[in-house]
């Protein structure tokens, strides 16, 4: 099954039912859609080897199960196709089941949120455009000026 060469090298790949479990795990990890392998919420997808475990891979006589954490935004069908293509040469004639056990968090756009700068008021009563007294949050209700069939609306009120 598993052992080290007489030269003291690292253990050879572990073979379960004729499938190299480590090679299957390595192949699945190379898929761009895979964030990592995982054993699932109850630890059901794992290969137990002498002295260690390989989470995310289980081999049976009829099929191979690969359980993964998907990268954010990847369609499940694309992820399954990538894993099946990568693992197929190693699984022989076995069916390959892909389990999406988790999805990685989305990438962060900014470490710190940006603070909005002051907005300019539309008051042109002799003073030109001056910063308003407080920050204004833009909304999707604004109607762009110059669009056909719409009227631009502005507020001509004074803040006291």
Q: Kindly write down the DSSP assignment for every residue of 44-68, as one continuous string.
A: -SEEEETTEEEETEEE-SSEEEEEE
Q: Is residue 40 part of a domain?
A: yes
Residues 6+ apart with CB under 8 A from 7: none
Let me know if 104 is exposed, middle or buried by CB neighbors in 10 A (0-12, 13-18, 19+).
Answer: middle
Q: Is residue 86 part of a domain?
A: yes
157 or 88, which is more confident? 88
Is the predicted pLDDT of residue 135 greater than 90, yes or no?
no
Contact 15, 24 (CB under 8 A): no
CATH number at residue 66: 3.30.70
**Mean confidence (pLDDT) of the chain:** 76
Is the predicted pLDDT of residue 150 greater than 50, yes or no?
no
User: In whole angstroms, what is the distance from residue 50 CA to residue 14 CA?
Assistant: 9
Is the predicted pLDDT of residue 78 greater than 90, yes or no?
yes
pLDDT band at 40 (very low <50, low <70, confident <90, very high): confident
Contact 61, 50 (CB under 8 A): no
Q: Is residue 58 part of a domain?
A: yes
Q: What is the mean pLDDT of residues 57-70?
A: 95
- Report the domain count for the chain: 1
In this predicted structure, which of 32-36, 68-72, 75-79, 153-157 has the lowest mean pLDDT?
A: 153-157
- Nearest-CA neighbor of 44 among 25, 58, 29, 59? 58
- Which pLDDT score is estimated for 10? 40
Determine the length of the chain: 160
Q: Is residue 76 part of a domain?
A: yes
Q: Is residue 134 part of a domain?
A: no
Q: Is residue 54 part of a domain?
A: yes
Is the predicted pLDDT of residue 111 greater than 60, yes or no?
no
| Cα 60-61-64 angle, rounded to 5 deg | 45
Q: Is residue 151 part of a domain?
A: no
Q: Is residue 25 part of a domain?
A: yes
Domain boundaries, position 45: 15-103
In this predicted structure, which of 21-35, 40-54, 144-158 has the lowest mean pLDDT?
A: 144-158
């Amino acid at each position: 099954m598993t052992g080290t060469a007489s030269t003291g090298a690292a253990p050879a790949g572990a073979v379960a039912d004729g499938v190299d479990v480590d090679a299957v795990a390595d192949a699945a990890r190379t898929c761009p859609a895979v964030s990592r392998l995982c054993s699932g919420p109850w630890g059901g997808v794992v290969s137990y080897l002498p002295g260690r475990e390989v989470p995310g891979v289980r081999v049976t006589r009829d099929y191979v199960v690969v359980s993964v954490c998907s990268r954010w935004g990847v369609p499940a069908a694309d992820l399954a196709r990538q894993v099946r293509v990568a693992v197929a040469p190693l699984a022989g004639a076995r069916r390959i089941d892909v389990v999406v056990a988790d999805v990685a968090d989305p990438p962060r756009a900014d470490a710190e949120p940006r603070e909005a700068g002051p907005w300019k008021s539309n008051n042109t009563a002799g003073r030109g455009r001056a910063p308003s007294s407080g920050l204004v949050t833009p909304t999707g209700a604004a109607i762009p000026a110059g669009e056909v069939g719409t009227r631009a609306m502005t507020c001509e009120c004074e803040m006291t």
